[in-house]
Each structure stands twice: as structure tokens, then as C-alpha cells.
Chains A and B, each alone.
Chain A
């Protein structure tokens, strides 16, 4: 077997909120190009885990190395690491005072000092990819939630990240809009993007995932390939969870 250096290495991470252990000794590796799907009941720590990767949550102990840099080390510039790690939120969080196009160009122009014309050209290409070109001059409030989420994905991609994190990207969507967002995510996966996805969409996990991670009560209970995971789960708790949702 050939050894690939992981692009994300999470080692013995503990995150506590007061007395509550949100993450309890969690370890996980993600290789470049891999699609890792994290599932589990609500409150299991899956979103917290995702948010520690780009330090939106600071870890209490352990280590997280992203693309060769320890994210909790104050010597490393967390803002430069975050440029490499795109994130898509459950509630989209588009900048409400900016148009769709400006949402995409703000960070490239201010952070990467891209010329405005170039940033706009690339932004339009990304909008084309998510099927939102005709809404470039709209404000977020004028879009449906599904459209907002597609723009949010494009915004994250505008920084040309190496890794994309998805925090329950379809949970706040009306059922008829879930498909359009998943479609964008599947395309992205086909193009070889490294993705860590927290989701309840089991179909997506099975179709796209290289590796399924099941979490409960702050711990990783099981890591398996989708086929193994859904057809022959090893752990009792995994089995119970799957029975409840499938």
C-alpha cells in the first residue's frame, strides 16, 4: 500500500465547554482528495469537530495539523490557514450588505490583493458553476435559501481553498432545494476537492463519501467505507442510529 501524507491530521483532540466534553479524545486523518462524511445524532460533537479544523472552536488539548501546520500553535498565522480551508455553514451566512458578486470578490480582493476585474471574472465563472450567474447583482435577501447556499459554496471556493468543510449544508433548506445544493457538492467532489461534510443526507454519504465517520457523545464510534458502514455496521450504537434514520 502506498503511503499518502494526510492533509488533515486530528490527534487526541479534546474540547470541553465547562464540564461538558464536546469532543472526547478524537483522532481522524483526511487524505488529499478524500471525501469524509461525518454523521451522528445531534449533540454528538460532529459540528464541533468540523469547527476545530479551522479554529472557529479552539481545542482544549490534542493537535490538529492542516496542510503541515498546527492550527492551535499561535506561531502559525491562523488567518493564512483559514484561506486554505473553505467553510460552508448551515445558515449560509452570506454578507447581507453585499451583492452576490461582492460576496465572492470581497476576500480575494482584500486578502489576496487580486485586481477587481480579475476577481470579478473568476467570481462569474464560479457563479456559472453553481448556476447563479443571473443573480450576480442581487442581494442575499432576494434569494431563496437554496440559492443562498449555492452562493455560499461559490464564495468559499473563490479563495481557491485546498479543503472544503460543510457544516450541515442542507439542514436549513426546504426539501425541494436540497437537491440543487447536493448537486453542486457532488460536482465539487468529482473534481477532486478534499471535503469534510457533516450531514444527515445518507444518500450523499453513500454516493460521494470515501469514508464515513460515526460520532456519538463526543467520541468517534466507527470509521468505515460507506458500503461497510451502511450494510455491515460493526458497532451496536451505529446499528441503532441507522435503524432510526433509515
Chain B
């Protein structure tokens, strides 16, 4: 039986390296080792100010990762619910999920961040970081919803029929048969969204959350070394996304073990 190859492309994550690319010069290698070379070069040739800058940033990296992981967790939960809603035969569940996705996709992320931060701030006092996580998770949940829907739809109807014919009900079929298989199709775009989200967390720097960019801005405004600071900030972001994209590509490879002969 021929396998159907499904590729879902969403968003502006990062180019996930192709594991089959065995050449010496790949885009990933050039970017990764290039970035490291530049960072090392700058630190060695101009330790002042680059060493000070890079010492100032790690707190921000921790915050960026905290916001990213918490947001992606929330987004995955919301995304699964939204995705199941979009394929649900229950009219109201379906409508609610579709409306959520429609509304979120129609508002710029930055505006949503402001809105949730300030509107929420009117109603309840939540820490800045929590507001940022809710806003990011809420927004990316909508994107994830579409990814989940596409992933679930990519599984052949025959799998569902075989499961039903054994006596599994719809939700057991989803849990034991469809989702474990859909996960493989979903992982690349989810990884992509993860990287896109990590980059978009730089937006939370305007909400007084001390992420990488915020720390960089603080350093720059005190030292007036704007060019040097933002160079280092950009290189750090690039390094993180390159490492993540490589990890994801390895994970993807491992997950497809039952496809290989």
C-alpha cells in the first residue's frame, strides 16, 4: 500500500533541517557555525563591551524560555480543544471553536497582547508574566487548532472504521488510534509554531516582562551601545532557534520509526 505523505506548512517558524540532507554545507550548518564564529570573534576581539552585554542577557534567556514553554503548553491544550471542535459534529462546539480561531487570527498578536494585558488588568491583578503567557497561549492556541485539525484529517478514514468495528467509541478511537498517528503529522508544524512563538515572545518585552529583548533594551539605554547590544540580542535569538530546529528535526526522525522498513 502506498503511504500518503502529508506536509502541513503553517506560519513563520524556522526552516526545519531536512534529515536526509547529507551534504557538508547545509543552510543550517552555515548559519549555526557562522553564528558561533561571529559571537566568539566579537567576544575575543572586543571583550569590552560584548562580554558585558552577554553577561547581562542570561536572565532574559531564562524568562524567554519560561514564557515560551508555558505559552506553548497552554496553546497545545487550547489547540487540541479547538481542533477537535473544528471537526466535531456537535454544532455548538464546532461553532465556538471556529469563532475562536476566526477572531484570534483576525487580530494582530501585539494588539492582543496589549488588550489582554490592559483589559485583564482592569478586572484582576495578575503578574505581568502570567498576562503575557495567557495572551501568547490564547493566540497560538488558535493556530495550533488548525494544525491539529489538519493532522487529524490526514489520517485515513479506514483507521477510524477499523477502530469502530472493533467496538471502540468515537473518543476512544481518537485517543488510541487517531491522535497517536496524527501526532507524527502534527509534530513538524507544531515545532514550527514553537519556534515562531519563541521569537514572538520578544513582543512581551513591551509588557515589562524581562525577556532577552527587554534586558537588551535596558542595557542599551544605560550604555547607549545600541548597535552592539542589538547585534548580540539578534545572534542569541538566532542561536536558540537554530538549536531548537535541529532538535525538532531529530525528534521527527525518531518519531517516524514505524514508517521505516
User: What residues make up the interface of A, taking CB atoms closer than 8 Å to B?
Assistant: 54, 56, 79-80, 82-83, 85-87, 89, 91-97, 106-107, 110-111, 139, 141-142, 145, 148, 152, 155-156, 159, 172
**A/B interface sample: 26 pairs, CB < 8 A:** A54-B165, A56-B164, A79-B167, A82-B165, A91-B158, A92-B1, A93-B156, A93-B158, A93-B162, A95-B177, A95-B181, A96-B258, A106-B176, A107-B166, A110-B172, A111-B167, A111-B168, A111-B172, A141-B260, A145-B1, A152-B162, A155-B166, A156-B165, A156-B166, A159-B166, A159-B167
Cβ 8 A contact of A56, one of B165, B176, B259:
B165
- Check B161 for interface membership: any CB of A closer than 8 A: yes
Cβ 8 A contact of A95, one of B1, B159, B167, B260:
B159
Q: Inside 8 A of B162's CB, which chain A residues have their CB?
A: 87, 89, 93-95, 152, 155
Cβ 8 A contact of A83, one of B3, B166, B176:
B166
* Top 9 closest pairs, chain A to chain B, by CB: A83-B167, A93-B162, A93-B158, A87-B165, A107-B166, A139-B258, A82-B167, A79-B167, A97-B180
Q: Inside 8 A of B1's CB, which chain A residues have their CB?
A: 91-92, 145, 148, 172
A56 x B161 contact (CB < 8 A)? yes
A110 x B158 contact (CB < 8 A)? no
In the complex the two chains form, what is the Cα distance from A79 to B161 in whole Å?
Answer: 12
A111 x B161 contact (CB < 8 A)? no
Q: Evaluate whether A141 and B158 lie within 8 angstroms (CB atoms) in the complex, with A79-B168, A83-B166, A156-B165 already known.
A: no
Task: Report B108-166 residues with CB < 8 Å from chain A CB.
Answer: 156, 158-159, 161-166
In the complex the two chains form, what is the Cα distance from A225 to B98 in whole Å?
Answer: 55
**How near does chain A come to B244, taking the closest CB pair, in angstroms?**
25
User: What residues make up the interface of B, taking CB atoms closer than 8 Å to A?
Assistant: 1, 3, 156, 158-159, 161-169, 172, 176-177, 180-181, 184, 258-261
- CB closest residue in chain A, given B158: A93
Q: Inside 8 A of B165's CB, which chain A residues have their CB?
A: 54, 56, 82, 85-87, 156
Q: Inside 8 A of B172's CB, which chain A residues have their CB?
A: 110-111
- CB closest residue in chain B, given A87: B165
Cβ 8 A contact of B168, one of A85, A86, A110:
A110
Q: Inside 8 A of B261's CB, which chain A residues have their CB?
A: 141-142
Q: Evaluate whether A79 and B176 lie within 8 angstroms (CB atoms) in the complex, with A56-B161, A89-B161 already known.
A: no
- CB closest residue in chain A, given B166: A107
**How near does chain B come to A58, taking the closest CB pair, in angstroms?**
12
In the complex the two chains form, what is the Cα distance from A155 to B180 in whole Å?
Answer: 19
A107 x B167 contact (CB < 8 A)? yes
B168 x A141 contact (CB < 8 A)? no
In the complex the two chains form, what is the Cα distance from A86 to B165 in whole Å?
Answer: 7
**How near does chain B come to A14, taking the closest CB pair, in angstroms?**
22
Q: Inside 8 A of B169's CB, which chain A residues have their CB?
A: 79
Q: Inside 8 A of A159's CB, which chain B residues have their CB?
A: 166-167
In the complex the two chains form, what is the Cα distance from A119 to B48 in whole Å?
Answer: 69
**How near does chain B come to A5, taking the closest CB pair, in angstroms?**
23
**How near does chain A come to B170, taking the closest CB pair, in angstroms?**
9
- CB closest residue in chain A, given B157: A93
- CB closest residue in chain A, given B170: A79
Q: Inside 8 A of B164's CB, which chain A residues have their CB?
A: 54, 56, 79, 82
Beyond A96-B181, A159-B166, 14 additional contacts (C-beta under 8 Å) are A54-B165, A79-B169, A82-B164, A82-B166, A86-B165, A86-B166, A93-B162, A95-B162, A106-B166, A110-B168, A141-B258, A142-B261, A145-B1, A156-B165
Q: Inside 8 A of A155's CB, which chain B residues have their CB?
A: 162, 166
In the complex the two chains form, what is the Cα distance from A139 to B156 in whole Å?
Answer: 17
